[in-house]
A and B are shown apart, each in its own frame.
Chain A
Amino acid sequence: MSALRPQEKLKPWTDPAAVPYVRIERVTKRFGDFVAVNQVSLDIYKGEAFCLLGPSGCGKTTLLRMLAGFEQPTEGRLFIDGQDMTAIPPYERPVNMMFQSYALFPHMTVVENVGFGLRQDGIPKAEREARVAEILQLVRLTGFDQRKPHQLSGGQRQRVALARSLVKRPKLLLLDEPLGALDKKLREHTQFELINIQETLGVTFVIVTHDQEEAMTLASRIGVMNQGEILQTGTPTDIYEYPTSKYVADFIGSVNMFEGRLVEDEPAHVRIESAELGGTVYVDHGVSSAPDATVWVAVRPEKVRIDRERPDQLDNVFAGTVKEIAYLGDVSRYLVALDSGKLVRVTQPNTDRRDDRVTWEERVWLSWSPSANVVVTQ
C-alpha cells in the first residue's frame, strides 16, 4: 500500500542532524481525572504526512486539537518551526485545520468560505480572489463559486474544506479524519488526490484517523496511539512488518499471535516453544528478552502458506484442519484449527483459476518462513 509513496527519499527522521519542524515535548492533557494524552513526545519533520492512528478515545484528536490551539496542554510544550506555540491562541497560529465535519460556514458561498481566512488577515480583494481561484483550481472545484455548502455533495464539501484550510498556506495542516465522511469509492480516489496536493504544496500534514488503511496510504510515518500514549512511531512498513508490541501488531491488519517461551537464545536466531502451536518456532533474528520469559510470536495471515503435502522445510511447519473458508475473489481466507485447538488465519491470493483448492475439514500443512515471525514481549 505504501507503494503510493514510491519516492521514499524523504526520510528526515533517519538523519540525526535534521531539525524537527513540529516538536511535541512531554505533553500531557488531563480533563479532570481523565488523562487524555500522557507524556507524549514527538518530532515531525517538514514536508511529512504524519498520521496519528488509534481507536476512538485514544487521545489522538486531543493531541491534534492542542496543535491547533483549541486545547491547552496541562503539561509540556509545543513548538512549530522553532517557535513555542504552547500559549498562542488558535487565531494567531500558523496552523490550519480541516475538520472531520468539514465545518463549512452554512451561510457563506464556496468563495466566501475559502476566502474567510484571507479576509481575517486583511489581504486585499484582488489578491484574495486570485488566491481563492487558484486553490479552488488545485482541488478541482471551479464553477461552484457561488454555491452554498448544502448545495454541494459530500466529496465537493470535502474539497471546499481542504481548499479553505490550505489557502492561507499554513506551516502545518491538521486533518481530522479527512476521509471519514466519504463513501468507499470516493475515499480511495480522494486519498491519491490528497497525497498529490500535499506533495505539490509541500505542506506538512498531521492526520488523525482510526482507519488503518487510510493511515497506510496517506502517511510518511504513523504514530500508533492507545490510551493517551504513542506506542510506536514508524513508516507504514515498519509498523506493519515490525510491530514492537502485541497491541500494534493486532491493531494494524490482522495477525496470528502465538504465546510461547524462549528455548534457544542466540544472537542471530532464536527458538520459541509454543504449546498453542504444538512445537517450536524458528526465528531468524535475535530477540532481547529474558530467558524463560513469556513472548508472543506474531505471524501475518498472508505470510502463511497452506499445502496438502508437507512442504520441504524443517522449521515452522504445523498440521491443522480447515474449519472455515471465505472466498473473496482476489484472495481466499482460511481458518485452520491446529491440533492444540488454536485457530490460525491464513490469507492466500487466488493467483490461478482452479477448482481443486483445499476444502472444509481437510488436513493441511501450514508453513511460513523464519523471517515472517515477529517476536513481541508485551
Chain B
Amino acid sequence: MNQRRSFFVLTAMAFGFAFLYIPILSMVVYSFNYSKLVTVWDTANSPTLKWYTALLADEQVLNAAKLSLRIAAINATGAVILGTLAGLALARFGRFKGRTLLTGLTTAPMVMPEVITGLAMLLLFVAMQTLVGWPAGRGVTTITIAHITFSMAYVTVVIQSRLLTLDESLEEAAMDLGARPAKVFFVITLPIIFPAILSGWLLAFTLSWDDLVITSFVSGPGSTTLPQLIFSKVRLGVNPSINALATVMVAVVASLVVVAGVWMQRQERRRQRDVQMALATNQGGA
C-alpha cells in the first residue's frame, strides 16, 4: 500500500467521516458541558461529569434503562432461537416448492416501514386481547414480542448465510458415525455456527435497544423504554442530561460492536496462525 493517496480520496474520506460522526461527536462533547444551555460552552467549569451523576440519581432514567436492557436481552435470545430455526429450515430443506417466497417473506420485515409493522402489531394485540384475553393490555410483553418479530428477520439472514457456507458433509459425517439428527444439530452444527449466533444476538440486542417507532405503538403506561424517555424529554425541552444519556446509549452499542469485532478478529488471527503453523510442520516432512 505504498501508493500515493490522492488528495481527492483523502478529502472524500474526510467529508464522509465528518458527515457520519460530527453530529454524534458534538453530542458527546456537549454532554461534558457545565452550562445548562445546550449550545453555550462553559469554558470555566467544563468538562464536567455533572450530567452523568445527575443521570445516576434520576430514578426515571435508571428504570427506563433497566427496562430497555431487559427487553433487549430477552428479545435477542428469543430472536436468536426463532431466527436459527428459520435459517436452518431455509438453508437445509433443499429446494422445496415456494422456498424463494418463504425466504422473501422472512426478510420482508427488514424492509417493511416500521410504522406499518408497529401499527399491525398494535392492531393484532388489541384484537387478541378482545378474543383470547392475552396479552392483557400493552406493556413489556407486547414490546418484547414486537421486537422479536422484526429482529428475528435479521438473525435469520445471518444464520442462513452462515449455514449456506457450512460444509453439509460435516453433518453427514456425524450422522454416518452414528449420531441422530437432533444430536448432530446440538453437537456439530450449533458449536460451529456459534459465532454467527452470537453476532445475531448482538445485532438483535442493538436493534431492540434503540427502537422507538415500533415500541411507541405497542407500549403501555409504565413501560417506557430508554429511547422513548429520551424522545419525550426532548419534546419538553433539550437539556444537557439528554446529551449524557444519549452518549451512554451510544457507548453501550459501540462497546458491543467493538467487543464483537475484536473477538472475531482474534479468532480469525488465531486460525490463520494455526494454519501457518500446520504448513510449517508439513514442510518438515509428513
Contact = CB atoms under 8 A, between A and B. Distances in A.
A92 B177 CA distance: 9
A99 to B, nearest CB: 5
A370 interface: no
A106 B192 CA distance: 7
Contacts of B274: 148, 150-151
Given A91-B180, A107-B192, A121-B178, A70 B282 contact: no
B269 interface: no
A214 to B, nearest CB: 20
B278 to A, nearest CB: 5
Interface string B125-164: 0000000000000000000000000000000000000000
A103 interface: yes
Contacts of B180: 91
A12 interface: no
B129 to A, nearest CB: 46
Contact of A153 (B177, B183, B286): B286
Contacts of B271: 150
A30 to B, nearest CB: 15
Interface string B172-209: 11111111100100001001100000000000000000
A68 B180 CA distance: 14
A164 interface: yes
A107 B178 contact: no
B12 interface: no
Given A97-B173, A101-B167, A152 B278 contact: yes
Interface in A76-98: 89-92, 95-97
Contacts of B279: 153
A107 B277 contact: no
A287 to B, nearest CB: 46
B178 A120 contact: yes
A90 B177 CA distance: 8
A116 B174 contact: yes
A103 B174 CA distance: 9
Interface centre among B167, B191, B278 (most CB of A within 10 A): B278
Contacts of B281: 153
Contacts of A154: 282
Contacts of B286: 153, 155-156
Nearest to B281: A153
Given A103-B169, A120-B179, A151 B277 contact: yes
A105 interface: yes
B282 A91 contact: no
B116 interface: no
A154 B275 CA distance: 11
A261 interface: no
Nearest to B180: A91
B29 to A, nearest CB: 45
A152 to B, nearest CB: 5
B176 to A, nearest CB: 5
Contacts of B282: 153-156
Contacts of A165: 176
Given A103-B169, A105-B188, A151 B177 contact: no
Given A151-B274, A155-B286, A91 B179 contact: yes
A220 to B, nearest CB: 24
B250 interface: no
User: Looking at chain A, what size class is its interface with the partner chain?
Assistant: 20 to 34
A117 interface: yes
Interface in A312-338: none
A168 interface: yes
B170 interface: yes
A6 to B, nearest CB: 28
Contacts of A69: 176
A218 B188 CA distance: 32
B278 A168 contact: no
Interface string A105-141: 1110000000011001100000000000000000000
A103 B172 contact: yes
A153 B277 CA distance: 9
Contacts of A105: 170, 173-174, 188, 192
B178 A150 contact: no
B277 A91 contact: no
Contacts of A168: 177-178
Nearest to B167: A101
B177 A116 contact: yes
A116 B192 CA distance: 16
A74 B44 CA distance: 85
B173 A91 contact: no
Interface centre among A92, A99, A100 (most CB of B within 10 A): A99
A374 B5 CA distance: 70
A109 to B, nearest CB: 12
Contacts of B177: 91, 96, 116-117, 120, 164, 168
Contacts of A107: 191-192
A99 B175 contact: no
Contacts of A147: 278
A150 B176 contact: no
A150 B278 contact: yes
Given A68-B172, A116-B177, 16 more contacts: A68-B176, A70-B172, A91-B177, A91-B180, A92-B178, A96-B177, A100-B169, A105-B174, A105-B188, A107-B192, A117-B177, A117-B178, A151-B277, A152-B278, A155-B282, A164-B173
Interface of A: 68-70, 89-92, 95-97, 99-101, 103, 105-107, 116-117, 120-121, 147-148, 150-156, 164-165, 168
Q: What are the nearest 8 A-B pairs in CB distance?
A: A153-B282, A120-B178, A117-B177, A103-B173, A103-B169, A151-B274, A99-B169, A90-B175
Interface of B: 167, 169-170, 172-180, 183, 188, 191-192, 271, 274-275, 277-279, 281-282, 286
9 contacts: A68-B176, A70-B172, A89-B175, A95-B176, A97-B172, A101-B167, A150-B274, A152-B278, A165-B176
